[in-house]
Structure 1
């Protein structure tokens, strides 16, 4: 893959290479790789057995957000990430020691060996990221050639929707009033989980909750043209288990891990009672999970989330998530639900024309909040840079509750040319999709926010729709984001915006369950067509 990030190279002396060769016999290569990757990801690294956890601190939690990878044998390099790795092993271990002390996590094995000055080359450091990109290439190879919604071809293939006991879905929705302590979700789950209409924004706009994907997807599959009612005619099997709601209801309650895991274990037992579960060892089964992968991959030292996706039975099925685990091939990222749910092609074209005619009064906007309890976060730096140039940048402070209303967010974004999208509690942000459907060019600071997440809905060439600024450069005060964005030519901005509005926008929204799109494929249609294509490719 062609490199798209700026290069940072390491010069290695012969003595250092000799030391490296000796040390490889003492410390597994994978451990070394992931320890050094720590700097690029601005995270802490925990190693347990053969599993490496790259961890981010959450402002809401006492635990860490972690994405994990097992050991790898492929030592080929991936050049597109080489620029995101810093090259000082000494600086790395100093930072690691400080973070380990502050966060109360153990110093990883091999720390003292690193402290003695061992340095790795870019090629050897990039194993894990090569694996990520290889997986995304595999995902892209499953992309269907169908160009519009009306051309959806079942071609003799059918999707069967399991009629699960209600405890796995409907009964969870009925707990909407007290699922989260500070908000009643019942209104959000109305209107097929689109929420209450937002008339100020026009037709097709709703106050959709960010965790509504499971319900929205279920409604759409029930009306899919390839749905079959005879299980023997099915090629794909959709399991409407609302695992996201299941885990959400326990997030802020004092219950044991046994309780958090119980419904997922019951679901697996139920599936094992179905003959179709064994047809392809679960590889033809689809789960849609409306929360991030980490919420279902609880590691040993944590009390957060469930172990649902760590179960052996859950390794073969496809899991569609708003944020995928980067080193699991069967985790596939699909867009966060936005506030826009068009019913017709005309709803989409009307919105596209509106966006093209907007004057874009502000060069930059940032809707978010600082992370004072997460020193690694670049948000405070971005806020300072934004507010110090108020004539170029508009800051909406979400800690005041001003971001709770869809009209506030969308109106801000449609008046802005660029929307800053730094990582929050996890790498991805719903706000990325809110900005895209508003014609606002997202500014990405971490490749895991978008580039390594959504291969079916965002193009491989990220420069077509976004601007990338390395968060390490922001953190080290090497770049002023406002100054950088001011230098982008008007023609380049116009090309990106037109691409976003015409090429991306229709495929990033989930149409109303009653929608009759003929010209466009929405996010749901793209996902279903690609799932059928994947099945075809696996059978070849």
Structure 2
């Protein structure tokens, strides 16, 4: 048993003991909030961690299992910063679920059932491993277990009360069952057996109602309120001497696309603003993150983001980016080029009615094909408006980060990304069950 797996077993035992103690006085505050963690065999979660180095097309994931999925500290004296890999979200979420104050051991009393299945880690054998030609099988072994082990739990509400976390974009689990041979991805979300459960993904598709996107994990996981407030203070007082920053790769091909347009405009921009009264020393800066060099080294991009007013968030292989949440964490106003990058994704964490209060939207078609200049658009935004937007970005920070497990009581009073996701799941399930009771179709 690996060190990471052993520590998780210890946490699970402690959680069971605390559950019996805490539930005695929690009945009122937990009304309509009870969650049952479905007990799954280790083959569906902890055993998958053992294979962390067995996928030749991926880098070794084993270093990122430490600290219950937060990864190793960025340096020995760090208390809040880790080399976090987004693929560890399932492990991070599972560990935090063990601390959830409204757990019940009786599934009949639960308002929701959490399946601690590491779907994205299990998908690796279909995406990169020996089962690449049988990806339509992904999830069937879980379904068979749920069908034969206390099947009344899964069928009680036709599985509408079940939810799980999938630490990849939903597209990676959406290959049509009819594809033969498989193209890319598994067919987990296309299996009729799981149409009713709620899947929390890093990126959702535009139409399926069973999916909902939750923030990518950043590298910042504070254990107490003091460290969070210290970071907020640093982000607020940081001197913003750069107008716009792009941290990422791509954009070097000849084909027209938004990343190429950003690189061209940034590289051709004058070194400073033409207005002598401008607060900016630099109009545009690029942090080259090609070949994944930034993924587990937050210092590479967080320091530049702290110095930038706007952080450009162009879509890449998929519309969403972890960089969106890194930028918010740095107090850098995100600039989006299509709605699917965030506005149509993270409604529980980035409030939709107020989206324009903390972000800028520039249609990518206007930039790529009609010559709109991004820097001109950003320079025209009044300074007072910029200050208001930045303050709103800073207000979002506590709700988009995943705090460290076993955090201090003071920090637990502030809802983080996990807390908001749980609130959203419970509301979603409650609404769906009400519709079913009223005979309203949820499709």
Structure 2 vs 1, CA of residues 314 and 437 (structure 1 numbering), >3 Å: closer, same or farther?
A: same
1:334 aligned residue (198, 214, 220): 214
Do the aligned partners of 1:396 and 1:402 also contact (CA within 8 Å) in 2? no
What's the secondary structure of 1:356's corresponding residue? helix
Query: Residue 320 of structure 2 aligns with which residue?
Result: 428
C-alpha contact 1:244 1:290 (8 A) present in aligned 2: yes
Q: What is the count of residue pairs matched by the alignment? A: 388
Pick the aligned partner of 1:488 from 355, 374, 381. 381
| Aligned partner of 1:278 among 143, 147, 155 | 155
| Partner secondary structure for residue 269 of structure 1 | helix
Match of 1:399 in 2: 290
Correspondence 1:237 to 2:121:
no
1:110-121 residue pairs with structure 2 within 5 A?
A: none
Per the alignment, residue 15 of structure 2 pairs with none
Indicate yes or no: 2:99 matched with 1:223: yes
* Shift of residue 319, structure 1, vs aligned partner: 0.7
User: Hey, what's the Cα distance between the residues in 1 that align with 2:254 and 2:33?
Assistant: 49
Note the C-alpha offset of 1:409: 1.3
Does 2:413 correspond to 1:519? yes
Q: Secondary structure at the match of 2:53?
A: helix
Matching residue of 2:235: 355
Match of 1:383 in 2: 263
> Could you say which residue in structure 1 is the equivalent of 2:29?
153
Structure 1 position 474 matched with structure 2 position 350: no
Task: State the Cα distance separating 1:536 from its structure 2 match.
Answer: 3.6
- C-alpha distance in 1, partners of 2:384/2:224? 31
What is the RMSD of the two structures over their aligned residues, measured on CA atoms?
2.1
Q: 1:360 to 1:262 in 2, by over 3 A?
A: same
User: In structure 2, how many angstroms separate the alpha carbons of the residues matched to 1:158 and 1:271?
Assistant: 20
Contact 1:201–1:407 (CA under 8 A) maintained in structure 2: no
- Name the CA distance, whole Å, in 1 between partners of 2:50 and 2:61: 10
- After superposition, the Cα gap between the structure-2 partners of 1:353 and 1:224, relative to the gap in structure 1 and judged at 3 Å, is same
Task: Confirm or deny: 8 A CA contact 2:160 2:432 kept in the other structure.
Answer: no
Q: Which stretch shows the higher mean deviation, 293-302 or 189-198?
A: 293-302
Counterpart secondary structure, 1:164: coil
Contact map agreement 1:212 1:290 (CA 8 A) in 2: yes
One of 35, 44, 50 as aligned partner of 1:168: 44
**1:346 aligns to 2:226 (yes or no):** yes
- What residue ranges of structure 1 are gaps of 5+ in the alignment? 1-149
Distance apart, 1:530 and its partner CA:
2.5
Q: How many angstroms apart in 2 are the aligned matches of 1:362 and 1:372?
A: 23
In the aligned structure 2, how far is the partner of 1:374 from the partner of 1:437? 33
Q: After TM superposition, give the deviation of residue 533 of structure 1 in Å.
A: 2.9
Counterpart residue number, 2:9: none
Matches within 5 A, 1:63-462: 153-155=29-31, 157-179=33-55, 181-199=57-75, 202-253=78-129, 255-258=131-134, 260-273=135-148, 274-299=151-176, 300=179, 302-372=182-252, 375=255, 377-389=257-269, 390=271, 391-399=282-290, 402-404=293-295, 405-460=297-352, 461-462=354-355
Q: Secondary structure at the match of 2:59?
A: coil
Offset of residue 333 of structure 1 = 0.9
Gaps of at least 5 residues in structure 2 are 1-25, 272-281, 435-443
Q: Is the 8 A contact 1:365 1:393 kept in 2?
A: yes
- Secondary structure at the aligned position of 2:67 is classed as helix
Query: What secondary structure sits across from 1:291 in the alignment?
Result: strand
Structure 1 contact 364–416 (Cα < 8 Å) conserved: yes
Retained in 1: the 8 A contact 2:162–2:198?
yes
Q: Contact 2:36–2:112 (CA<8 Å) still a contact in 1?
A: yes
TM-aligned CA distance change 1:268 to 1:174, over 3 Å: same
Question: Could you tell me the TM-score, scaled by structure 2's length?
Answer: 0.83
